[in-house]
Structure 1
């Protein structure tokens, strides 16, 4: 057997319990000379052990980097050693490089460097730097530096640690990489812009929305597709401003689904709602407001929890609760031109008349959509109609109760009152100097 560098790992005899190897070793020559096909039957052995096995049966000079890790299972019959080696390398993100009569194996990132870089990096001294992160989460930045979700920014010897208590990063690497990491942190550790979400939940007569200038529906031609928003839900596209034109007619029962629209820009919404409320034509039941960071979800919820009794397996009863709420989940995203894309999820739960096993039944209406609005523009959610039928009996005392003739002195007046639940959502971008302070 020829002399030279060859990877020797702990006890090839240990392979007897993990698999079998067959093949005829080469007598002499460089890597790549004619070597008979080999057969490998390895089960759950380390990658380094598998490489050592190939080097042993083929009489190759093979050196593996310290970063070669992982385990592998192989069952190959009469394949060229080059193919067996390539399978192991590809399945574990490794690459090989030949220097003279020696084959080196290392991770692809290491092999991507030039030989001069690979030789000089280990000799470079390491330095340690600490960054106090102001706005971002130190753990998320550390994950990015390590390359857990992609290509990392550290060298092979680089290390990063997180101090959760002070939200700090400790990075150890070469001076060149430390400088690059500092530039990246300076670009990412910035104050996130914030959005104020204002919601107004109003009960109004069905004509109020039209008087406020609400345009229901969306034009499919404006959106560039054949489908649009309808009374059953929303399309997956973005509703561009100005595309609202048509009424949301539906074959479904009226008042069972949300409708969607924009409010005209020149409407003084608060003044209009107060005026309608003073006339008894509307009532503002809630006016919540919440501030959230860009691309962070805000939740607004209003309603009640309904108690009911539920029997246990032991015969006892427990008091459980079901929610019947109006909830709004809003996730804003600020565009480069200071407009806002809002991902909206609105759910309106009401108590039904029926019960099942003592538990109250809940009627649910839900819509999930994504809209593009200007800063300060109002989106309107409506379409939940409630009709109240009222019957009143008027009669003349005594005479109205006479048999046969009583109907001449009494009459019944029937009236219906239709109201609509309207939800006005207005996003406003907060000025950046608030975040800076």
Structure 2
């Protein structure tokens, strides 16, 4: 049985931003505060505000490695790629790990795949579980046609027991022969996952809770670092902000996660899923999507098991078949992720539906095209080895 552990309380994005602004007014020479505030602006998509804040820094601070990294990231967000590359490279050479990932993304987008690959290998040498670096490595190896190196990397990960959430998708792209195909089939189990539970709480509508979430002060536009795009809002750490009905929903979710664990214990499952954590926390967030709001292909690398509970969905009978659906499959490591080795699976969400799936499953959502909000609560079950 999983021992559930609480997450340390953390103020929402708006409170953090307001506090940093207050501190900076009192201590305008504090570069660390200026950088944290700039990163908060970037998180919220307020790129021009981040640029103005960093540009106003004193000249002597502009050789600071952390400043170089954040300023380079800001320039990249503004599309000023040549200048961004200069600053990110300077930060990377000064040992700022985070700058390496932004630099690799920039180089890959500018058809400098070999340079991006070199940086990704360096990042993975430091931390083999670095999902973002692994994803960038695979994308650039595929983009440059270096399939042999991709197969070498996946084989090395398997031989060394270096699990990474991008590995199943990379294997699906490189699968050759029955042995590899069998391994992929074990990992993806498209007939078994996701687990779909309808009428989860026994009530199709939760009008009061929907109204609470639609008007909650913790709402923010989709942060730039996540997969959400278009017209939508996010509520971070939704299980920890004191909404009683949400707390009750998560108590039910814990029961279903326990049932899922029992299902695994009774059946043969791949190690990536069957290694049920003894101690875990729940990372959660709310999504409110309308019209063109959707999520691009992504997975949840920190989790063991992930899920989404649909609180309310619009009526879409007059919309195209794909409208509002959630689709599962491999990550988008190439221009197309249609693979025989990992067949895609689509589900049309319904109100009061819960979906559970391995966290390494790639997935995306389609826009509803409706002004009526699709309200969902998403979560990751994150193993805690320090329990």
Report the TM range for the smaller structure's normalisation: under 0.3
Higher helix share: 2
Structure number, greater radius of gyration: 1
- TM-score after normalising by structure 1: 0.19
- TM-score after normalising by structure 2: 0.21
Q: Which has the higher contact order (CA 8 A, sep 6+)?
A: 2
